[in-house]
Chains A and B, each alone.
Chain A
């Protein structure tokens, strides 16, 4: 059995990031797009915590905590915006909301 090193966690984080990016690029539902953003933030947090452990410093853990707080604030505001978009356009399809483009 190979020993679990830093690279294992970095690869997992890269996969998580790519899946989040894929979700943001392809999904049309605004709520699911926000879930993709959460996946990307999670990938960043995993990176920070892994670096913190294998480097022996506190900074990574601290910054990942700030990242979690940021994600909470972002989710609250973004979902309020989605609620408003639904009230205004009666849809959350981000392809249909193109008022600013016209």
Chain B
């Protein structure tokens, strides 16, 4: 069982890394978006490995479904294919990007290497029960009722904001 989960974790983790490296590295934005889809699907698998079934399903539906359609729609609408001459050259900015990302990665890995023991909280819930949609729903309307309502307002604002931004004409001569 442990061997199976280790193999699964290695495989899915490798897929996540390939997906994210492809996203930030490929020159064509459409290729980037497709690598991002691979990344999202592999992360959904990792959530399943963490026994968070509901989050895994939401990840695939919302990220790989809705958000990626938005991204691809925007890329197609902008017709970015003829804009590959976008200057993606190795300059100071790229150097700083590699430096900052690398330094941050080393820092985080060093802190993780210290092996700080996190406090284990004993609860009545088993790991499988944590990820169940039933328990998430119950938690949503009891302990997390206020964040739930705030998030619903946020979604409404996002819809209104996106429509206003898309319809209003910000052209220079108006």
A interface residues with partner B (beta carbon < 8 Å):
1-4, 6-12, 14-29, 31-32, 34-36, 38-39, 42, 45-46, 49-58, 61-62, 64-66, 68-77, 79-84, 86-88, 91-93, 95
Q: With A and B bound together, what is the CA distance between A68 and B112 in angstroms?
A: 25
Across-interface contacts of B51 in A (CB, < 8 A): 53
8 Å CB contact of B50 from A42, A50, A58, A73: A50
B144 and A62 contacting across the interface, CB-CB below 8 Å: yes
The 26 sampled A-B contact pairs (Cβ below 8 Å) are A2-B6, A4-B6, A15-B105, A17-B108, A25-B93, A25-B96, A31-B71, A34-B71, A39-B39, A45-B43, A45-B55, A49-B47, A49-B50, A53-B52, A53-B130, A57-B123, A58-B136, A58-B139, A58-B143, A62-B144, A69-B151, A73-B154, A76-B159, A83-B165, A88-B172, A93-B86
Q: With A and B bound together, what is the CA distance between A98 and B162 in angstroms?
A: 23
Q: With A and B bound together, what is the CA distance between A93 and B170 in angstroms?
A: 18
- Given A10-B112, A18-B105, A69-B151, A32 and B29 contact (CB-CB distance below 8 Å): yes
Residue in A18, A23, A74, A82 whose Cβ sees the most chain B Cβ within 10 Å: A18
CB distance from A45 to the nearest CB of B (A): 8
8 Å CB contact of A61 from B40, B52, B109: B52
Q: With A and B bound together, what is the CA distance between A14 and B109 in angstroms?
A: 7
Chain B 84-98, CB-CB to A under 8 Å as 1, else 0, gives 001110000110111
Q: With A and B bound together, what is the CA distance between A89 and B169 in angstroms?
A: 13
Q: With A and B bound together, what is the CA distance between A53 and B130 in angstroms?
A: 7
CB distance from B52 to the nearest CB of A (A): 5
B interface residues with partner A (beta carbon < 8 Å):
2-3, 5-7, 9, 13, 16-17, 20-21, 23-24, 29, 32-33, 36, 39-40, 43, 46-47, 49-52, 54-55, 58-59, 62-63, 66-67, 70-71, 74-75, 77-78, 80, 83, 86-88, 93-94, 96-98, 100-102, 104-105, 108-109, 112, 115, 118-123, 125, 127, 130-131, 135-136, 139-140, 143-144, 147, 151, 154-155, 157-159, 161-162, 165-166, 168-172
